[in-house]
């Protein structure tokens, strides 16, 4: 059965959204998604909620107290958790409920209110039988980036190029946390080194924010008075954080998910057939790494797409025209933002960061120690079959 994105909504992302509670933050995104889809609560059959680890706010199983605010009272409610990829996984789970014919319209919502806790602390705890990580996400991923640079012989300015591109893109996005139209390559390279080779301006912010999407079946999509984004394919794969032979630079789960996605979507040449990509890039160097993992470039050549300007607005494959995770990072919602922004592109509702002529778009998310991967392909026309 076919499924489509009927509408999307997101909050204004900020360091601290002290004007709203967690419930208010979610409802802000939900109300915008319902309005964008042109539906009301009576037309929503189920709710799927996603967020990153509960320790990020210190509230265990928040879906229980949020049920009223997110419209789940009296409706089926499902909680999803796959670390940082959870926003994407939540959208995919909602899609599966529609495709399976279980529900006609499903509301998916994801959020994070990092200001109410300490994500660095939450990421630095040591569960039994695991290696200690004392420097949070940046300290964990920096060695993987150094390994990528050694393998690919990428020049040292690639990370700064991505940071400049995404921050300038974010200046076009009214919802973005960081909006820096005047950022330069020189200012990024002069910013403080946090975890070699990651500089301050090459890393994502800590944001409060939420995102929501309304997903409907074919009948709901055809009844919509607005343009929809048809979901051509979805894919999810996982692998352990550590195992013998794990490739942290080019994770097997990500590559296998991408291959499955392209096959299901009928895409044989992603670089040629995808018009825009929203890729989960929390540290700027991950753009060339994920371009290779996703099959847009051969191993060791992703940085060349960046350097040539092909991933900028107006390039062959604009990546993160919204500004991406480098501009807004409410962790639980960051993946869904990638999915929603991809849908907005093919619906022609991306505003100042709209890619002209975008008909096919990728939404991508990853989480944990590069172990959880979720992605979807959306387009402006219904797929021939599912």
Residue pLDDT tens, the chain, 386 long: 999 999 999 999 999 999 999 999 999 999 999 999 999 999 999 999 999 988 888 889 999 999 999 999 999 999 999 999 999 999 999 999 999 999 999 999 999 998 987 777 777 777 677 666 666 788 889 999 999 999 999 999 999 999 999 999 999 999 999 999 999 999 999 999 999 999 999 999 999 999 999 999 999 999 999 999 999 999 999 999 889 999 999 999 999 999 999 999 999 999 999 999 999 999 999 999 999 999 999 999 999 999 999 999 999 999 999 999 999 999 999 999 999 999 999 999 999 999 999 999 999 999 998 999 999 999 999 887 65
Helices (H) and strands (E) in the chain, counts: 13, 11
30 Cβ neighbours under 8 A, 6+ residues apart: 9, 70, 71, 107, 109, 210, 212
Paired tokens of 282: 């929390």
Distance CA 293, CA 315 (A): 20
Say what the pLDDT of residue 139 is. Answer: 87
Angle at 359 between CA 357 and CA 365, to 5 degrees: 120
Say what the pLDDT of residue 137 is. Answer: 86
Say what the pLDDT of residue 56 is. Answer: 84
Report whether 329 contacts 87 (CB < 8 A).
no
The phi, psi pair for 330, rounded to 5°, reads: -80, 90
Distance CA 381, CA 43 (A): 23
Angle at 72 between CA 363 and CA 103, to 5 degrees: 60
Only one residue has tokens 């229980």, namely 64
For 36-72, give one letter per residue: b (16+ CB within 10 A) or e. Answer: bbebeeebbbbbbbbbbbbebbebeebbeebbebbbb
Angle at 239 between CA 109 and CA 274, to 5 degrees: 60
Provide the 3-class DSSP secondary structure of residue 97. Answer: helix
Say what the pLDDT of residue 166 is. Answer: 98
Q: What is the pLDDT of residues 43-72, one digit of tens each?
A: 999 999 999 988 888 889 999 999 999 999
Say what the pLDDT of residue 120 is. Answer: 73
pTM: 0.97
Q: Is 224 exposed, middle or buried (0-12, 13-18, 19+ CB in 10 A)?
A: middle
Say what the pLDDT of residue 132 is. Answer: 66
**Strands annotated E in 139-203:** 193-195, 198-199
Say what the pLDDT of residue 242 is. Answer: 86
Closest CA to 92 of 223, 274, 272, 238: 238
DSSP 378: E
Distance CA 50, CA 87 (A): 6
> Domains of the chain (ranges plus CATH)?
3-118+204-379 (3.40.47.10)
């Amino acid at each position: 059965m076919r499924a489509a994105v009927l509408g999307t909504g997101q909050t204004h992302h900020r360091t601290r959204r002290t004007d709203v509670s967690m419930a208010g933050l979610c409802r802000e995104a939900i109300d915008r998604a319902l309005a964008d889809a042109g539906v009301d609560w009576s037309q929503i059959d189920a709710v799927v909620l996603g967020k990153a680890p509960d320790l990020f706010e210190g509230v265990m199983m928040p879906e229980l107290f949020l049920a009223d605010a997110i419209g789940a009272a009296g409706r089926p409610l499902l909680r999803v958790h796959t670390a940082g990829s959870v926003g994407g996984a939540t959208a995919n789970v909602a899609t599966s409920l529609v495709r399976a014919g279980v529900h006609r319209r499903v509301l998916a919502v994801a959020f994070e209110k990092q200001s109410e806790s300490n994500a660095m602390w939450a990421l630095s705890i040591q569960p039994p039988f695991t290696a200690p990580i004392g420097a949070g996400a940046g300290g964990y991923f920096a060695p993987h980036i150094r390994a990528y640079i050694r393998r690919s012989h990428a020049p040292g300015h690639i990370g700064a190029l991505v940071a400049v591109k995404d921050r300038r893109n974010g200046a076009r996005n009214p919802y973005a946390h960081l909006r820096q139209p005047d950022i330069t390559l020189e200012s990024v390279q002069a910013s403080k080194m946090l975890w070699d080779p990651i500089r301050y301006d090459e890393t994502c912010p800590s944001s409060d924010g939420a995102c929501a999407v309304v997903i409907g079946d074919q009948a709901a999509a055809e009844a919509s008075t607005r343009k929809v984004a048809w979901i051509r394919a979805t894919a999810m794969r996982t692998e352990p954080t550590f195992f013998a032979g794990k490739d942290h630079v080019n994770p097997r789960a990500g590559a296998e998910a991408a291959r499955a996605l392209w096959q299901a979507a009928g895409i044989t040449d992603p670089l040629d057939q995808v018009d825009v990509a929203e890729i989960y890039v929390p540290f700027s160097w991950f753009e060339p790494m994920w371009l290779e993992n996703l099959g847009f470039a051969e191993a060791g050549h992703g940085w060349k797409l960046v350097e040539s300007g092909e991933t900028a607005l107006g390039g062959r494959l604009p990546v993160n025209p919204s500004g991406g995770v480098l501009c807004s990072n409410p962790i639980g919602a960051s993946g869904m933002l990638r999915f929603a922004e991809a849908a907005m592109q093919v619906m022609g509702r991306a505003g100042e960061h709209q890619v002209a002529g975008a008909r096919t778009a990728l939404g991508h998310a990853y989480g944990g120690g590069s172990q959880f991967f979720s992605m979807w392909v959306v387009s402006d026309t219904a797929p021939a079959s599912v």
